[in-house]
Amino acid sequence: MNEQQRIENQQVNAANSSDKKSAKDYSKYFERVITAPSLKDAKKRGKEEVNYQNDFKIPEEFQGMGNGRKFYIRTYGCQMNEHDTEVMAGIFMALGYEPTETVEDANVILLNTCAIRENAENKVFGEIGHLKSLKMEKPDLLLGVCGCMSQEESVVNKILRTYQYVDMIFGTHNIHRLPNILHEAYLSKEMVVEVWSKEGDVIENLPKVRRGNIKAWVNIMYGCDKFCTYCIVPFTRGKERSRRPEEIIQEVRQLAAHGYQEITLLGQNVNAYGKDFTDIQYGLGDLMDELRKIDIPRIRFTTSHPRDFDDHLIEVLAKGGNLMNHIHLPVQSGSTDVLKIMARKYSREQYLELVRKIKAAIPDVALTTDIIVGYPNETEEQFEETLSLYREVGYESAYTFIYSPREGTPAAQMKDNVPMEVKKERLQRLNNLVNELSAEAMKKYQGQVVEVLVEGESKNNPDVLAGYTSKNKLVNFTGPKTAIGKIVKVKITEAKTWSLNGEMVEELKPLEVK
């Protein structure tokens, strides 16, 4: 449903808000408000028009709604979710709410959830359970569940049935509706459910409260049309739709003007950027080529899909400057057969060829990846192909996961003959390799001078500063507090498996854009 359809469907919410929470038949929520995640429906996407809404405003009637009230948002999952939280915080502030760091102090609590694996979901259900006592003590407290889990029919059903004290459930496409959702929750005694399944909108101009003033996230696109067989994201985040380049460029310029040192372009599959434009031929390579001319020291992007990673992008990244020499390139498996079952749409050989091209163009590149082990029926040989690919590419780090079946995805229907102990043992073997190669990559820094963007004091010791290199290596070092927020040179004195220790040598001159 897009914004236009929503307006046409406005009666739907009114009808639902008169339903009693205790009603046993929950199906009506899905008939009327929600199109539950459906592979069949989702795959039909692509023909719908992307709706651009550029004039987001807080409706006058809601202004001041938050005066004297505080909000608390707990975020699970990926950077996209973190950034959504920044937008929701921006909306809360625009409504007059103040932020608080404790749930006890809050008048509204939101759980911004992740659906990627079962354990992520279990954590959230645990937290909803914990919050029950607080909700009982403070009946005026509003408790909301949003983010990716809210996009799943089974989750919404479970909350409606088991956690009836939850006041609001809203989806990833409904964030801009937060003022209306809060308003309705204050007025009605029933749970407010607003989740749209198929979404074609891009909403600009949303307020944001960024978490820091050194690094910032910038959305370049939303959704995913890849439909890897294990993945819930195409359902929870909707179809691929790109923000217009001029909007992105303007946002990055503003961030640069405000003194931000690093931006990360965000999308579930950033390499598909621009594919949905019908009026212009414009891809991620074109965007990066324009952004690199902006006076901001560091630009990154995440997450890439190898299938859409084109030569033009490689050519642009090779120009270096403020485009960082680190690429996160999820491979998922080293076996062509498993990749086929995963519907990744590339083979081991094609992936290795892409890596070869990237390394030829950017010899100093650091590659990192995501890997799933224990895919349904993965054989020992297929797993070993993952190990051998890992060594062959020479990744510097990886996020590794045991496959977790997600309801509604094709892989969840597959029979699986791999016992959990075997999956765990494979994960352990892979992690040993990941640690080995990470330590090796770190060792090369011993005695070297690296450029570090200083983010603040180290978590464990306020006398030590911490920041990241261009390849995203964590560096803890001694230096003056005035270095915070700047890019400085640090001499590495000790290399550990996951971080480096050093001492500051000097501040870096402002960047010259080539």
- SS3 (DSSP) at 474: strand
Closer Cβ to ligand SF4, 37 or 147, answer by number:
147
Partner interacting with residue 77 (select from ligand SF4, ligand 5AD, none; CB below 5-8 Å by kind): ligand SF4
Point out the residue whose Cβ comes nearest to ligand 5AD. Answer: 370
CA distances, 260 to each of 219, 253, 456 (Å): 16, 10, 14
Partner interacting with residue 466 (select from ligand SF4, ligand 5AD, none; CB below 5-8 Å by kind): none
- The rounded Cα 481 to chain-centroid distance in angstroms is 31
Closer Cβ to ligand SF4, 85 or 470, answer by number:
85
Q: How far is the CB of 159 from ligand 5AD (least distance, A)?
A: 21
DSSP state of 204: -
Shortest CA distance to 191 belongs to which of 128, 236, 238? 128
Closer Cβ to ligand 5AD, 437 or 487, answer by number:
437
Can you list the alpha helix ranges (DSSP code H) found in 3-63? Answer: 3-8, 11-17, 27-32, 39-43
Query: Which residues sit at the interface with ligand SF4, rule CB under 6 A?
Result: 77-78, 80-81, 114-116, 147-148, 232-233, 236-237
> Are the C-beta atoms of residues 225 and 50 closer than 8 Å to each other?
no
Can you list the alpha helix ranges (DSSP code H) found in 95-177? Answer: 118-137, 153-162
Q: How far is the CB of 407 from ligand 5AD (least distance, A)?
A: 10
- For 469, residues 6+ apart whose C-beta sits below 8 A from its C-beta are 450, 451, 452, 475, 500
- For 359, residues 6+ apart whose C-beta sits below 8 A from its C-beta are 365
Q: How far is the CB of 277 from ligand 5AD (least distance, A)?
A: 25
Partner interacting with residue 372 (select from ligand SF4, ligand 5AD, none; CB below 5-8 Å by kind): ligand 5AD
Closer Cβ to ligand SF4, 115 or 182, answer by number:
115
Partner interacting with residue 117 (select from ligand 5AD, ligand SF4, none; CB below 5-8 Å by kind): ligand 5AD
For the record, the structure tokens of 122 come out as 């279990």
DSSP state of 243: P
Distance in angstroms (rounded) separating the CA atoms of residues 331 and 92: 38
Q: How far is the CB of 373 from ligand 5AD (least distance, A)?
A: 9
Distance in angstroms (rounded) separating the CA atoms of residues 384 and 457: 41
The sign one gets for the Cα dihedral 171, 174, 178, 184 is negative
Is residue 105 classed exposed, middle or buried when 0-12, 13-18 and 19+ CB atoms within 10 A define those classes? exposed
Partner interacting with residue 406 (select from ligand SF4, ligand 5AD, none; CB below 5-8 Å by kind): ligand 5AD
Query: Which residues sit at the interface with ligand 5AD, rule CB under 6 A?
Result: 116-117, 230-231, 330, 332, 370, 372, 401, 403-404, 406
Closer Cβ to ligand 5AD, 410 or 456, answer by number:
410
Closer Cβ to ligand SF4, 223 or 306, answer by number:
223
Point out the residue whose Cβ comes nearest to ligand SF4. Answer: 77
CA angle 148, 149, 152 (to 5 degrees): 105
Partner interacting with residue 330 (select from ligand SF4, ligand 5AD, none; CB below 5-8 Å by kind): ligand 5AD
Partner interacting with residue 401 (select from ligand 5AD, ligand SF4, none; CB below 5-8 Å by kind): ligand 5AD
Closer Cβ to ligand 5AD, 72 or 403, answer by number:
403
Q: How far is the CB of 162 from ligand SF4 (least distance, A)?
A: 21
Closer Cβ to ligand 5AD, 222 or 230, answer by number:
230
Partner interacting with residue 115 (select from ligand SF4, ligand 5AD, none; CB below 5-8 Å by kind): ligand SF4
Q: Residues in the chain, how many?
A: 514
- The rounded Cα 304 to chain-centroid distance in angstroms is 12
Amino acid found at 302: T
For the record, the structure tokens of 462 come out as 């306020």
The sign one gets for the Cα dihedral 345, 200, 83, 271 is positive
> Are the C-beta atoms of residues 263 and 302 closer than 8 Å to each other?
no
Partner interacting with residue 148 (select from ligand 5AD, ligand SF4, none; CB below 5-8 Å by kind): ligand SF4
Distance in angstroms (rounded) separating the CA atoms of residues 4 and 323: 38
Q: How far is the CB of 401 from ligand 5AD (least distance, A)?
A: 4
DSSP state of 230: T
Q: How far is the CB of 149 from ligand SF4 (least distance, A)?
A: 8
Q: How far is the CB of 509 from ligand 5AD (least distance, A)?
A: 37
Q: How far is the CB of 431 from ligand 5AD (least distance, A)?
A: 14
Closer Cβ to ligand 5AD, 117 or 239, answer by number:
117
Q: How far is the CB of 399 from ligand 5AD (least distance, A)?
A: 6
Closer Cβ to ligand 5AD, 403 or 445, answer by number:
403
Pairing state between β 70-75 and 108-113: parallel
